Homo-oligomer: A and B are copies of this chain.
């Protein structure tokens, strides 16, 4: 990535960091709840989803600032899903990005409620956004709820739990990942394109792009889990494997998984290159997924 592009994205990441915490601090809510919500929002996430949203708005030559509230909502929903996934009855994780998980610090009850609060507040943030039209807000809320709810992320998490201690097929594994991580990533791209002003045909192209992007993201995550350095990714290497969760390297070998990753990155870029807009930042972010080290 060019120095300018890196600087540009870092600037938006910093603005997101500031705004998402400001949104929590403005709440008239019990301090303990706000602390629990902020704790996980400041856990050093890479803000991949907000960055894809900003990059898609940028592709249309619009000011990415217009997407700030939606980006904060997106990061809140992502964060709620991590808090709930880490719970003892789910993945039972003690560490996330090298820090104790939310329930380890605040207890299970407050962790569940912090997740519930982040999820609920995210819809309020979009509904309250004075920079978007009512029509765009409804479009965004429809897609966000669909992609984060029973037909999306929540459904994927259920499928993931049900696949434990089984050996899913590659199709079943793709279903899990398309829902558990793909749908929210897809929302990032489509929301940015919609806010940028994309028409139906362009939204379809972005849907194709984000389909492959989501799979690439999950495969690179699985590969990282096999070859990554525990200090970098902040959780025990191979921890998913230890709980008999199927991964791409386990199903396809490490080499096969790398080939699959390259395939989806290539497909994603081909879709992107059909656009008449400026896909530079989106292409750069896509390359980051292919070579990420955490």
Contact = CB atoms under 8 A, between A and B. Distances in A.
A149 B116 CA distance: 7
Given A120-B149, A150-B117, A33 B155 contact: yes
Interface in A162-183: 162
- Copies assembled: 2
A158 interface: yes
Interface stretch (A48-56, A138-146, A247-255, A271-279): A138-146
Given A120-B150, A123-B123, A30 B112 contact: no
B109 A90 contact: yes
B84 A112 contact: yes
A277 to B, nearest CB: 26
Contacts of A107: 89
Contacts of A158: 29-30, 32-33, 110, 113
Contacts of A154: 29, 33, 113, 116-117, 120
A27 B158 CA distance: 14
Interface residues of A, number: 48
A146 B120 CA distance: 8
Q: Which are the 8 A-B pairs with shortest beta-carbon distances?
A: A124-B145, A89-B108, A120-B149, A29-B150, A134-B134, A117-B150, A29-B155, A127-B141
Interface of A: 27-30, 32-34, 37, 80, 84, 87, 89-90, 107-110, 112-113, 115-117, 119-121, 123-124, 127-128, 134-135, 137-138, 141-142, 145-146, 148-151, 154-155, 157-159, 161-162
